[in-house]
Every structure is written in structure tokens, then in C-alpha cells.
């Protein structure tokens, strides 16, 4: 489940349907090699993508989801919940993520996965879109997935 394959992550991140949603779009290809190599970060491979969990404090991780079109939609939810279960059973207490208004599918996926919107930053994305911040706690996730607790 966990991967350290930077080539895989970079291939997915630079996919033409993924790269525009990562940000820093004027900078060309993006390189996640250092992110994947950092032992503090957790990169989980999915069938058609990856989830990057970056520590933000004790027990708190920021989630970055990179999914190619083949893996989008409701099919990604079981894999996401498996990845969340992995994180919550390995010391994670809170997952944070965010989605710009220009990427509505990302916000929809966060809500369907159980994340709650916590705040909106006006005009915070590079295209001027508002950015919604989301949070999911281990307790909230466990309440929805008692079989995994």
C-alpha cells in the first residue's frame, strides 16, 4: 500500500488531467521525488493514483489526492477509506485537505469521504478561486467505519 516510487508519483502528478489541479501551473512539470523520499511523509498507492500524507503536527497530516480520470468518482472511495484506515491505525488523529472552487470534484470527493468543511479562504488559489479547507478526525472516521476500528 505505501510506496516510495517517486517515478510513479511524478507520472501521476504530471498526467495532463491531474497536473492542472496541483497548482504552480506556470512552472511546468512538478517533481515529488523529495516528498516521497522524506520518511515523515506517507505516500499510498491506489489503483489509478496516489494519496500523499504530509505531517503538519503531532498526529495531523495534510492529504493530497492525485487521481487519474480512470480512478475518479465513487470507485475511489473504498481505496481512500483503506488509506485513511492505514493512517488512523498508525498514529494519525486528524486529516486535513483543501480544494479550490475551480476543482469541484475534489471538494465533492472530500465530502463523500467524510471530511467536514472548516473554513473558506477567499481568492486563495492561483486562478483567484476560493479554497475550502476540510478536516476528518480518527473518531469521525471510526464512527463511520466501526468494522475497521
pLDDT at 9: 94
DSSP helix, strand, coil percent of the chain (3-state; round to 5): 35, 30, 35
Average pLDDT over residues 105-123: 92
The confidence score (pLDDT) of residue 27 equals 72
For the chain, which domains are there? 6-148 (3.40.630.30)
Q: What pLDDT score does 148 carry?
A: 62
In angstroms, the first-to-last Cα distance of the chain is 19
Least confident of 17-31, 51-65, 118-132: 17-31
Query: Which pTM does this prediction carry?
Result: 0.91
16 pLDDT higher than 60: yes
Beta bridge partners of 49: 46, 67
- What DSSP assignment string belongs to 102-138? T-HHHHHHHHHTT-EEEEEETT-STTS--EEEEEEEH
Amino acid at each position: 500500500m505505501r510506496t516510495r516510487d517517486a517515478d510513479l508519483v511524478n507520472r501521476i502528478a504530471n498526467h495532463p488531467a491531474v497536473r492542472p489541479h496541483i497548482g504552480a501551473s506556470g512552472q511546468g512539470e512538478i517533481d515529488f521525488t523529495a516528498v516521497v523520499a522524506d520518511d515523515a511523509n506517507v505516500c499510498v498507492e491506489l489503483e489509478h493514483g496516489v494519496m500523499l500524507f504530509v505531517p503538519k503536527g503531532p498526529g495531523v497530516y495534510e492529504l493530497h489526492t492525485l487521481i487519474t480520470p480512470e480512478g475518479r468518482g465513487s470507485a475511489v472511495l473504498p481505496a481512500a477509506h483503506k488509506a485513511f484506515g492505514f493512517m488512523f491505525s498508525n498514529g494519525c488523529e486528524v486529516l486535513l485537505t483543501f480544494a479550490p472552487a475551480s476543482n469541484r470534484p475534489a471538494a465533492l470527493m472530500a465530502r463523500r469521504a467524510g471530511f467536514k468543511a472548516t473554513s473558506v479562504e477567499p481568492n486563495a488559489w492561483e486562478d483567484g478561486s476560493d479554497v475550502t479547507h476540510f478536516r476528518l478526525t480518527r473518531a469521525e472516521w471510526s464512527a463511520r467505519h466501526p468494522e475497521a476500528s
